[in-house]
Amino acid sequence: MPVDDPTVGAEVSELRELLAQHNHRYYVLDDPSVPDAEYDRLMRRLRALEEAHPALVTPDSPTQRVGGAALDVFNSVRHELPMLSLDNVFSEEEFRGFDRRVRERLGEGAEVQYCCEPKLDGVALSLLYENGLLVRGATRGDGASGEDITANARTIPNIPLRLRGEGWPQRLEVRGEVYMPRAGFEAFNSRALETDGKTFVNPRNAAAGSLRQLDPRITAQRPLEFCAYGVGIASGELPARQSLLLAQLREWGLRCSPEIRVAQGVAECLSYYEDLLERRASLPHDIDGIVFKVDSIALQERLGFVARAPRWAVAHKFPAEEEMTRLEDVEFQVGRTGAITPVARLAPVFVGGVTVSNATLHNMDEIERLGLMRGDTVIVRRAGDVIPQVARVVPERRPPDASPILLPQLCPACGSPVERVPGEAVARCTGNLLCPAQLREALLHFAARRAMDIDGLGEKVIDQLLAAGLVRDVSDLYHLEPGALAALERMGRKSAENLVLAIARSRESTLEKFLFALGMREVGEATARALARHFGALEPLLEADAIRLQQVPDVGPIVAGHVASFFADQRNRALVARLLEAGIHWPAVEMPAGGGPLDGASVVLTGSLESMTREAAGELLTRLGARVSGSVSAKTRLVVAGPGAGSKLAKAESLGIEVWDEERLLGFLREHGLVEV
Ligand code: JCF
C-alpha cells in the first residue's frame, strides 16, 4: 500500500468512527449493536493500518488507550476548582434537617427539587477535555491537588478519548467515580486466586488499587468503569439544572447513572432512597447511599459551600454492609444429618440494617481459610437479605489471649465420636438417630409442611416430647396418646387431641413426601419426586443399588450413594417398616402426564446386549416413560431379551408378553431420537 494513498486515511477515519460508535453503545448505552468478534475485527484492521502508516496515529485513536511505558511516580496536579466531598446523613431525620436548612437559607417556603442518584462506592476521578480531547485524568487527592493518572484513565473503556456530538466548552472538566462492577470484581478475584493469590477485599479497594498502578497495561486489564456526576471547570455555558447537565454529559458520550431522577421535596426523596435501598443487592455495582443535589444551579450558587463540602448536596448513607465486632466464642451445632456446624457468637453489631450476634462459619475449612481465633476482631458482612457472614479477621487487633478453634472430638449433643472424612469439609456426629440433636432435627424435618405436614408439631413440642422421653424416633409419633400429651406443660386437653388428629391425618401422604420426610442426605423435594416417579413404588426403591439409582434423572453418584446406604442400613429399614405398620400410605404414583411412548409400561431387560449395557438401555427406556423392573409378572408389558436370557424369557413367553431383541430395541430407540442413526 503506498504511503500517500488517500483511501487509507479515509478508511482509518471510518474505522475509528465505527469503533467509537460501538464502544459508546457497548459501554455507555449498555446496548451493543455488533458481536464482539466484529469489534475485534475492526480493531485489528485499524491496528494494521496504523502500523503500516504511523503518521496516521492520533492520541484519540481507540488503539491508543494503552500507551507509553510505566511511570516511576505520578505527578501532582492542582485542581483549578477544588474537588469537594459530600456531607453525610444517616437517618431520615438528619435528611429532613438538611432539607430544612436548604429551604431556610433560600428563604424558600416551597418544596425544593432535588436531583437524586445512587452514590457509587469507588474512587473520584477528574477528566479534563480540551477541544473535545481527553488531555488529563486526575485523582481527587486532598481535594486541592491530586495525582496525574491520565495514562490509567485512558485505559478505562467507557471513558471517551474524544467527546461526542457538539457544543462542548473548549475546556471542560468532567467529574465522576471509577468503580469495579461486582461481576468483574468476582471474576478478577477468582483469577487472582488461581495465579498469584493477591485478591482484593472489596470492589472499592479493587478500583482504587487498579487506578494506582504505575503501569497502565495493568490497569487496562482491570474491569473498571467510569460514571460521571458533575463538572468542575467549564469555559462555556452549561445547562441550568443538575439533571439537565447530566443529560448533556450523556450526549457528549459520558456514562451517567441510569437511575437519575428529579424528586420534589423530602417525601419523594425518601421514597427514592427506599426504592434503591431495596434494589441495592440487585444492582451491578456496590452503592453506599443516595446523593441528593439541589437541581437548580442558580440555587446551588446561592447556597455555596462550607469547608470542603457544598451546602446544596448531601449523601444519605445506607446502613453499612460491613462492620467490625469481636468473636466471643464458637459453638458447634449438630444438624439433621449429623453435620457439625461451627457458629460464631459475636458481640452484637448493627450491620446491613439488623443487629447480628450469630453467624454461621460453615465448617472447619472456613475457619482455617479465615485464620480465625477465639477473641479475634472480625469484619461481619450482611448484604441484602443474605445471611450474615464473617468476612475476614482484622489481624492487627488479635488479643494476646486469642485461642485456637478446634473441632470437638465428641459430639456436643450426644458424646458420640465426631468423624471427618478426609477430603470432605464437613465433620459429622456418628450417633445418627441416637443423637438427640439429630433426632430433634429429624423430627422437625419429618413434621414440616413440605414433608408429612403435621400441624402443631413445632420446635417447642418436639423439645418437650424428647425431654419427656415420649419419642425416640419418628415412628413413635404415631403411637402418642392424647392423655400422655396433655401431661406436657402448656399443652391442654384440646391441643393434645388436635395434635393426635394432625398426626393421624399425616398417615395419608404421597410417596414423594414420605421419601422427602425421611431426610436422606442430599434428597430434597425435587430428588424425592424424581425417585417417586422413577420407581413408582417404595419396594423397587428399597432394592435398588447405587447403579440403578443413577438411572433416575438428575441423580448422580453422590446422591445415589446416600440413598443406597440409607436403605442398606438395617436400622433405617426397620424404621421405614414401623412407619408403614403405623399406617402411612399413599395413592399409586402418577407417572408424568403425557410422558413417552412407553408411559407407565413395566419393562424387563434380560440377557446381554452388545451395543450398550443393560443399565444404559434401562435408562433410555425410562426416558420414554417406561418403568424398568427386575422380574417378569402379568403386569410386564415388554421384555427385551439378549443372548443368555433364561427363565425370565421363558416366563414372558408363557405369559404371552411381547419380547424384543436388541435390533428391535435399537430401532425403537432410534425412532425416538435416543441413539444415533
Ligand atoms: O457517586 C458518588 N460517589 C458521588 C460522589 C456522587 C456525586 O454526585 C458527588 C460525589 C462527590 C462530590 N458529588 C460531589 C459534589
Would you tell me how many other CB atoms lie within 10 Å of the CB of residue 518? Answer: 22
Distance 124 CA to ligand 1 centre (A): 8
Atom number, ligand 1, closest to the C-alpha of residue 118: 1
Distance 83 CA to ligand 1 centre (A): 10
Mutate to test the pocket of ligand 1, among 81, 86, 178 (most ligand atoms within 8 A of CB): 86
Query: Longest Cα pair distance anywhere in the chain, in angstroms?
Result: 105
pLDDT, one tens digit per residue, over 300-322 is 999 999 878 999 999 999 988 89
Q: Whose CA is nearest to atom 9 of ligand 1?
A: 229
Helices (H) and strands (E) in the chain, counts: 24, 26
Contacts with 624 (C-beta within 8 Å, 6 or more apart), sequence order: 595, 596, 597, 598, 672, 674
Tell me, using a 6 A CB cutoff, whether residue 179 lines ligand 1: no
Output the pLDDT for position 444.
Answer: 95
pLDDT, one tens digit per residue, over 339-348 is 999 999 999 9
Mutate to test the pocket of ligand 1, among 291, 305, 316, 318 (most ligand atoms within 8 A of CB): 291
Crossing angle (nearest 10°) for helices 6-23 and 36-52: 150
Output the pLDDT for position 595.
Answer: 58
Distance 163 CA to ligand 1 centre (A): 21
* Residue 421: its H or E element: none
Atom number, ligand 1, closest to the C-alpha of residue 287: 1
Task: Please answer whether residues 624 and 598 qualify as being in contact, where contact means their C-beta atoms are separated by less than 8 angstroms.
Answer: yes
Angle, CA 24 vertex, CA 22 and CA 28 arms, to 5°: 135
Q: Whose CA is nearest to atom 7 of ligand 1?
A: 229
Cell numbers for 122: 469507588
Contacts with 404 (C-beta within 8 Å, 6 or more apart), sequence order: 373, 374
Residue 615 pLDDT level (bands cut at 50, 70, 90): confident
Q: Whose CA is nearest to atom 11 of ligand 1?
A: 85
Q: Whose CA is nearest to atom 5 of ligand 1?
A: 119
Tell me, using a 6 A CB cutoff, whether residue 119 lines ligand 1: yes
Residue 645 pLDDT level (bands cut at 50, 70, 90): confident
Tell me, using a 6 A CB cutoff, whether residue 86 lines ligand 1: yes
Tell me, using a 6 A CB cutoff, whether residue 120 lines ligand 1: yes
Q: Give me the helices (H) in 384-481, please.
A: 436-447, 459-467
Atom number, ligand 1, closest to the C-alpha of residue 257: 1
Output the pLDDT for position 4.
Answer: 63
Tell me, using a 6 A CB cutoff, whether residue 367 lines ligand 1: no
Nearest to 123 by CA among 137, 133, 111: 137
Output the pLDDT for position 631.
Answer: 86
Crossing angle (nearest 10°) for helices 570-581 and 557-568: 70
Tell me, using a 6 A CB cutoff, whether residue 125 lines ligand 1: no
Nearest to 597 by CA among 617, 625, 622: 625
Nearest to 474 by CA among 566, 575, 580, 584: 575
Tell me, using a 6 A CB cutoff, whether residue 500 lines ligand 1: no
Contacts with 362 (C-beta within 8 Å, 6 or more apart), sequence order: 341, 342, 425
Phi, psi values for residue 604, rounded to 5°: -120, 135
Residue 366 pLDDT level (bands cut at 50, 70, 90): very high
pLDDT at 591 over 60: no
Output the pLDDT for position 492.
Answer: 87
Output the pLDDT for position 513.
Answer: 96
Residue 454 pLDDT level (bands cut at 50, 70, 90): very high
* Residue 310: its H or E element: strand 309-310
pLDDT, one tens digit per residue, over 246-302 is 999 999 999 999 999 999 999 999 999 999 999 998 999 999 999 999 999 999 999
Contacts with 547 (C-beta within 8 Å, 6 or more apart), sequence order: 560, 615
What average pLDDT does this structure show over 430-451?
A: 91
Residue 158 pLDDT level (bands cut at 50, 70, 90): very high
Q: Whose CA is nearest to atom 12 of ligand 1?
A: 85
Range from 280-284, 444-448, 627-631 carrying the lowest mean pLDDT: 627-631
Tell me, using a 6 A CB cutoff, whether residue 291 lines ligand 1: yes
Atom number, ligand 1, closest to the C-alpha of residue 288: 3
Distance 290 CA to ligand 1 centre (A): 9
Output the pLDDT for position 368.
Answer: 94
Tell me, using a 6 A CB cutoff, whether residue 172 lines ligand 1: no
User: In angstroms, rounded to a whole number, what is the distance separating the alpha carbons of residues 361 and 579?
Assistant: 36
Output the pLDDT for position 1.
Answer: 47
Cell numbers for 152: 490509567
pLDDT at 384 over 80: no
Query: Distances from the Cα of 143 to the Cαs of 83, 282, 288, 647, in angstroms?
Result: 5, 32, 21, 91
Query: Distances from the Cα of 445 to the Cαs of 80, 336, 528, 568, in angstroms?
Result: 67, 8, 14, 21
What average pLDDT does this structure show over 418-437?
A: 86
Atom number, ligand 1, closest to the C-alpha of residue 119: 1
Distance 318 CA to ligand 1 centre (A): 15
Higher pLDDT, 4 or 111: 111
Percent of the chain with pLDDT over 70: 98
Cell numbers for 207: 478500583
Q: Whose CA is nearest to atom 8 of ligand 1?
A: 229
Residue type, 198: K
pLDDT, one tens digit per residue, over 391-413 is 999 988 999 999 999 999 999 99
Percent of the chain with pLDDT over 90: 69
Residue 610 pLDDT level (bands cut at 50, 70, 90): confident
The two beta strands, 123-130 and 377-381, are unpaired
Tell me, using a 6 A CB cutoff, whether residue 342 lines ligand 1: no
User: In angstroms, rounded to a whole number, what is the distance separating the alpha carbons of residues 552 and 564?
Assistant: 13
Q: How far is CA 437 from the centre of its chain?
A: 30
Q: Give me the helices (H) in 61-202, please.
A: 92-106, 150-154, 182-194
Task: Please answer whether residues 132 and 163 qualify as being in contact, where contact means their C-beta atoms are separated by less than 8 angstroms.
Answer: yes
Cα dihedral 187→190→193→197 (10° resolution) = 40
Contacts with 312 (C-beta within 8 Å, 6 or more apart), sequence order: 102, 293, 294, 299, 300, 303, 304
Output the pLDDT for position 677.
Answer: 60
Distance 229 CA to ligand 1 centre (A): 6
Tell me, using a 6 A CB cutoff, whether residue 229 lines ligand 1: yes
Distance 75 CA to ligand 1 centre (A): 24
Distance 486 CA to ligand 1 centre (A): 65
pTM score, whole prediction: 0.68
Higher pLDDT, 220 or 619: 220
Distance 116 CA to ligand 1 centre (A): 11
Tell me, using a 6 A CB cutoff, whether residue 230 lines ligand 1: yes
Tell me, using a 6 A CB cutoff, whether residue 177 lines ligand 1: yes
pLDDT, one tens digit per residue, over 496-506 is 999 999 999 99
User: In angstroms, rounded to a whole number, what is the distance separating the alpha carbons of residues 257 and 117?
Assistant: 7
What average pLDDT does this structure show over 83-101?
A: 95
Burial of 241 (0-12, 13-18, 19+ CB in 10 A): buried
Q: Whose CA is nearest to atom 4 of ligand 1?
A: 119
Mutate to test the pocket of ligand 1, among 88, 116, 117, 119 (most ligand atoms within 8 A of CB): 119
Contacts with 452 (C-beta within 8 Å, 6 or more apart), sequence order: 446, 506, 509, 513, 514, 517, 584
Residue type, 645: A
User: In angstroms, rounded to a whole number, what is the distance separating the alpha carbons of residues 514 and 506?
Assistant: 10
Task: Please answer whether residues 245 and 260 qualify as being in contact, where contact means their C-beta atoms are separated by less than 8 angstroms.
Answer: no
Average per-residue pLDDT for the chain: 91
Nearest to 301 by CA among 292, 311, 291: 311
Distance 485 CA to ligand 1 centre (A): 64
Residue 630 pLDDT level (bands cut at 50, 70, 90): confident
Strand partners, 323: 380
Residue type, 248: Q
Residue 119 appears among annotated catalytic residues: yes
Contacts with 511 (C-beta within 8 Å, 6 or more apart), sequence order: 532, 537, 538, 586, 589
Query: Computed from CA positions of residues 236, 240, 246, 251, in that sequence, does the dihedral angle turn out positive or negative?
Result: negative
Active-site annotation holder among 119, 293, 513, 648: 119
DSSP one-letter code for 296: B
Tell me, using a 6 A CB cutoff, whether residue 227 lines ligand 1: no
Distance 652 CA to ligand 1 centre (A): 81
The two beta strands, 313-317 and 123-130, are unpaired
What average pLDDT does this structure show over 556-560?
A: 94
DSSP one-letter code for 414: T
Please count the CA atoms within 13 angstroms of the CA of 238 that sit on its side-chain side.
Answer: 27
Query: Distances from the Cα of 201 to the Cαs of 87, 107, 174, 239, in angstroms?
Result: 26, 46, 29, 40
User: In angstroms, rounded to a whole number, what is the distance separating the alpha carbons of residues 438 and 415?
Assistant: 12
